[in-house]
Chains A and B, each alone.
Chain A
């Protein structure tokens, strides 16, 4: 995203920013930045109907710049489209004040954003991050199992499931193994052709010299088998672009064919070293650290809104290792007070306590793991017990002879 113009008062947070989204990922940033009650100005096409004096109705489509006061946002992950619904906030000759309009933000079309409640620290942080022009890491991954494959693309801020492939594969049966082999062949060829369609090698490789790394992961030997199938096919069909990417294909082990096992793949040291320091890998490592602390159960890892707030209150998320993990889903809260609550917490940890704040993308696996924990968690500098108050009397005594309840 390019920042074309900004006039933000650092003290009060009033002002506006004009932004130009350049790549699909920018839509995701825009989705995170734009809040209800903000004022958004962008190019819009609106059908205007005019009734002439004689009573005939003429309807024309007019392109104009519209300013709306945002009511809700809708982000389509698959296609990366962002629709912002709101009420028109500045009148012109065609559109009345207060009438509804939905702006569809588009790539290479600038928009101007003015914050209804001022630019807070989180919003400014997001803005900075969105306009960071550094080259972004991108990775394609195929997580597969027998008869099932998930083709995903992992970018700096999102994991997008591009396609899920399911091919029925009969299991082995006594004496009959041909059905299995045939089905596996079909599965591989479907997966490969789908993958190639998504990678779109023929179009992308000539202009950009960088090859996007491809990761194959599966339980057992499947990924390895698929790689040899892919190699065989590449040679057989003399698919040059495909041959070119073979050296950059990585094979990894995952415990299940589902997307969420990507986190485990990306956490493995071998993969992490090749992926260098992507945000994804950092977030995954952080969540792993949190989980292992939680397992130790020594009161240094807490999750859930109330518990974390209490921990911050007690000054446990501060200098010397205190980390606040928060999902950006919380900042997208429709409710202004709700958002204020989280922004306040982040500011407090960052500025008053001196702790570290990590905002995790809810579109990554790590963010999804955090979502399960209530979208917020904290690693404390010192153990705290009994943040969950209600404790009840222990039930009846042990009875060793009885069968277990489950």
Chain B
């Protein structure tokens, strides 16, 4: 019971503290109204012990000893020290402070703590002979221990990670124009892989039918808010997980609507590769190419996503026509290579999200017999293979911790403050102290979750949920950077960056995006135009940067933000992405 109390006071939760108060009250009353049998016995034994401990030079009455004992909750050591200090130097010492001075809360709390120590016969004699100053020291230590701390297992996370032989993990973002079937495709994927059970899908089907949107049922697996369901569009990133034999995948389902590109950027910043969904039906593809198919592809490329699966969706509506598939593939190939994707990093897959053909199982339609390639999921695995072959796995584990906060929420009654996001670099374990920038506030990690499973540690590349303690949620905002307190991120207000322009860029107001972070800023100076491939300066102080050109510019932010060299940012203005860049200094 006492241990239980202490544990509870750790998580400074409003509700909890309230609940605890009541309990403490009860105990407090007990002490205030009179002593229990147990109390008296303890007092008696304690008095004898204290008398033994005090040498004869100190002259104190039994009543004084008892009062001191009561005050220190039967802690002999403390009482002895107290009495010695009070009475030895000045014989006429004032009486120890009245017990009323101690709040009932403190009384109860310390009583709970010290009671077990003073069980008769258990008192170690050594402690009584400790010189005064050492005793005082130990008293201080006791106080320090009161600070609630989550115990760290002090793991060597990198070592643990190597040993664990964990399945590899991959995060991918699903992008594409609005209404091209991103959410439905992912809903189908999860359904076919039995991540979502039949019952929930049936329920969604019924609900969708009721409002006359039966084709949206699978999309509703991802689109959960009422706003999204009523409007039939995804608004925010939906995260979901599934596993294959080799890999644990995290889906980041991005919204396609142009107004929600900020959310899409937040999703893309957490991804290892992307699935670009394209509607094969007539006109849809063409309108998408002018719209977000193009913008999303450019955005993910500029955020460092180099590999794409192009899922040519709704093939059932064009009767699995090979000509249509080839036509779209060729057009997209031309466009994407122009956008600096390498041919070998692109995979084209025909599929149908609504019916589920060629998503997890091979297409059975006889009209699609021309297609011999793999399914969507196989393509994803293959891409992950190629990522692993290029990038060494543990490259960023040894670096100091960096994690961008994607969400701040209340993770339930026991976890009042939780954050989630992708660990960009470094490692984390339960009990670590982290620093949230730009608030410059520390917090202690109470628990870690990866893919909804509690774990002891997490490493770079994983999308994790951290349950925090010792922090006020007002200090945590979306887009903050969580870092190691010893190597904090620097805050900058003005930075130089290299940009690739998608639209004309001149000194202008822009919105600066970095993951979930979105802020006002200004392009202040155009320093130079650069050669695309060599980075050499081709023209100084240009007047305007034209689409497709690479330039070095100075950006001024409205407020200080945690940005480091090498951070990728996106500049947008008036609903258009005008440039993507990388911080230089």
User: A residues within 8 Å of B by Cβ?
Assistant: 168, 170-177, 179-181, 219-221, 225, 253, 255-256, 258-261, 264, 291, 294-295, 297, 302-304, 307, 365, 368-369, 372-374, 388, 390-392, 394-396, 398-399, 402-406
Contact B535 A405 (CB under 8 A): yes
Whether A404 and B500, one on each chain, are in contact in the complex, defined by CB atoms closer than 8 angstroms, is: yes
Contacts of A174 in B (CB 8 A): 224, 238-240, 452
Chain A nearest CB, measured from B267 CB (Å): 10
A selection of 11 A-B contacts at a CB cut-off of 8 Å is: A170-B407, A172-B237, A175-B224, A220-B257, A253-B259, A255-B575, A256-B262, A260-B520, A365-B509, A395-B530, A399-B533
Q: Which of A171, A403, A404 contacts B407 (CB 8 A)?
A: A171
Chain-A contact segment, one of B91-99, B158-166, B541-549: B541-549
Query: Across the interface, do B520 and A220 meet the contact criterion of CB distance under 8 Å?
Result: no
Q: Which of B26-34, B146-154, B225-233 forms contacts with chain A?
A: B225-233
Least Cβ–Cβ distance between B305 and chain A, in angstroms: 14
The residues of B that contact A180 with a CB separation of less than 8 Å are: 225
Tell me if B410 and A170 are in contact (CB < 8 A). yes
A residues less than 8 Å from B507 (CB atoms): 303, 372-374
Q: When chains A and B are docked, how far (Å) is the Cα of A399 from the Cα of B532?
A: 9
- B408 with A170: CB separation less than 8 A: yes
Residue with the highest number of chain B CB atoms closer than 10 Å, among A255, A264, A302: A255
A-B CB contacts (within 8 Å), total count: 154
The answer on a CB contact under 8 Å between A225 and B239 is no
Q: How far is the CA of A236 from the CA of B572 in the complex (A)?
A: 40
B410: chain A residues at CB < 8 Å are 170, 179
Q: Does B75 contact A (CB under 8 A)?
A: no
A398 & B533 in contact (Cβ 8 Å cutoff): yes
B374 smallest CB distance to A (angstroms) = 27
- Residues of chain B within 8 A (CB-CB) of A396 are 531, 533-534, 536
List which B228-268 residues lie within 8 A (CB) of chain A. Answer: 228, 231, 235-240, 257, 259-260, 262
Nearest CB in chain B to that of A218: its residue: B259
B473 touches A168 (CB 8 A): yes
Q: With A and B bound together, what is the CA distance between A261 and B534 in angstroms? A: 36
Q: Is B401's CB within 8 Å of the partner chain A?
A: no
A374 neighbours in B (Cβ, 8 Å): 507
A394:B538 contact, CB within 8 angstroms: yes
Query: B170 an interface residue at 8 Å Cβ cutoff?
Result: no
Nearest CB of A to B503, in Å: 8
Let me know if B506 and A303 touch, CB within 8 A.
Answer: yes
Interface size on B, residues (CB 8 A): 69
B86 contacts the other chain (CB 8 A): no
The answer to whether B508 touches A392 (Cβ under 8 A) is no
Q: For the complex, give the distance between the alpha carbons of A225 and B225 in Å.
A: 14
Task: Name the B residues within 8 Å of A260 (CB-CB).
Answer: 509, 520
Considering the chains assembled together, what is the distance between the CA atoms of A390 and B527 in angstroms?
13
B residues near A255, Cβ cutoff 8 Å: 259, 572-576
For B473, what are the chain A residues with a Cβ–Cβ distance below 8 Å? 168
B584 CB → nearest A CB, Å: 10
Q: How far is the CB of B72 from chain A (nearest CB, A)?
A: 44
- Are the CB atoms of B499 and A406 closer together than 8 Å? yes
Contact assessment for A395 and B536 in the assembled complex, using a CB-CB cutoff below 8 Å: yes
Given contacts A294-B504, A294-B544, contact A405 B227 (CB under 8 A): no
Per the bound structure, the CA–CA distance linking A372 and B508 in Å amounts to 6
Contact B536 A172 (CB under 8 A): no
With A406-B499, A406-B581 known as contacts, the answer to whether A395 contacts B534 (CB < 8 A) is yes
**Contact status A369-B259, CB under 8 Å:** no
Are A372 and B522 in contact, CB atoms less than 8 angstroms apart? yes
B478 at the interface (CB under 8 A from A): yes
List, in ascending order, chain B residues with CB within 8 A of A302's CB.
543
Is A405 within 8 A of B224, CB to CB? no
CA distance A365 to B508 in the complex (A): 11
Contact between B532 and A405, CB atoms less than 8 A apart:
yes
Interface positions of B from 546 to 567, Cβ below 8 Å from A? 546, 550
Chain A proximity of B321: nearest CB distance (Å): 33
A255 to B498 alpha-carbon distance, docked (Å): 24
B541 neighbours in A (Cβ, 8 Å): 388, 390
Partner of A295, one of B236, B504, B574: B504
Tell me the nearest residue of chain A to B237, going by C-beta: A171
Q: Measured between alpha carbons, how far is A391 from B524 in the docked complex, in Å?
A: 21
Query: What 19 new A-B contacts, CB under 8 Å, besides A174-B224, A395-B537, A406-B581?
Result: A168-B476, A170-B407, A171-B406, A173-B239, A221-B227, A255-B572, A256-B575, A260-B509, A294-B544, A369-B509, A373-B507, A390-B541, A394-B539, A395-B530, A395-B534, A395-B538, A396-B534, A403-B533, A406-B302
A258 surroundings in chain B (CB, below 8 A)? 511, 520
State the Cβ distance, B118 to closest chain A Cβ, in Å: 46
State the Cβ distance, B5 to closest chain A Cβ, in Å: 29
Chain B proximity of A365: nearest CB distance (Å):
8
Whether a CB of chain A sits under 8 angstroms from the CB of B335 is no
Which residues of B502-530 are within 8 A (CB) of A? 504, 506-509, 511, 518, 520, 522-524, 530
Chain A neighbourhood of B509, CB < 8 A: 260, 365, 368-369, 372
Q: Name B473's closest neighbour in chain A (CB-CB).
A: A168
Instruction: Enumerate chain B residues within 8 angstroms of A172, measured Cβ to Cβ.
Output: 224-225, 228, 235-238
Hey, which chain B residues are within 8 Å of A388, CB to CB?
Answer: 541-543
B28 to chain A, nearest CB (A): 35
Is B236 touching A399 in the complex (CB atoms < 8 A)? no
Contact residue among A225, A390, A395, A404 (Cβ-Cβ distance under 8 Å from B227): A225
Given contacts A181-B225, A404-B340, contact A220 B574 (CB under 8 A): no
Closest to B411 in A: A176
- Provide the residues of chain B in CB contact with A176, threshold 8 Å: 409
Q: Any chain A CB within 8 A of the CB of B490?
A: no
Query: B235 touches which one: A220, A259, A369 (CB < 8 A)?
Result: A220
* Cα distance, A174 to B544, chains bound together (Å): 44
For the complex, give the distance between the alpha carbons of A98 and B569 in Å.
Answer: 54
Complex-state Cα separation, A392 to B531, whole angstroms:
13
> Cα distance A403–B390 when bound, in Å?
15
Residues of B within 8 A of A404 (CB): 340, 500, 532-533, 550
In whole angstroms, what is the CA distance A260 to B474 when docked?
26
Given the complex of chains A and B, what is the CA–CA distance between A176 and B449 in angstroms? 16
Cβ contacts under 8 Å, A173 to chain B: 239, 407, 409, 420
Query: Quick one: which of A294, A295, A406 contacts B582, CB cutoff 8 A?
Result: A406
Q: Nearest 5 CB-CB pairs, A to B?
A: A255-B575, A395-B536, A170-B409, A372-B507, A395-B531
By the criterion CB–CB under 8 Å, are B478 and A171 in contact?
yes
- In the bound assembly, the distance between CA atoms of A315 and B409 in angstroms comes to 62
Most B-side CB within 10 Å, residue of A170, A297, A302, A307: A170
- Complex contact B530–A405 (CB within 8 A): yes
Which residue on A lies nearest to B235, using beta carbons? Answer: A220
Closest to A299 in B: B543
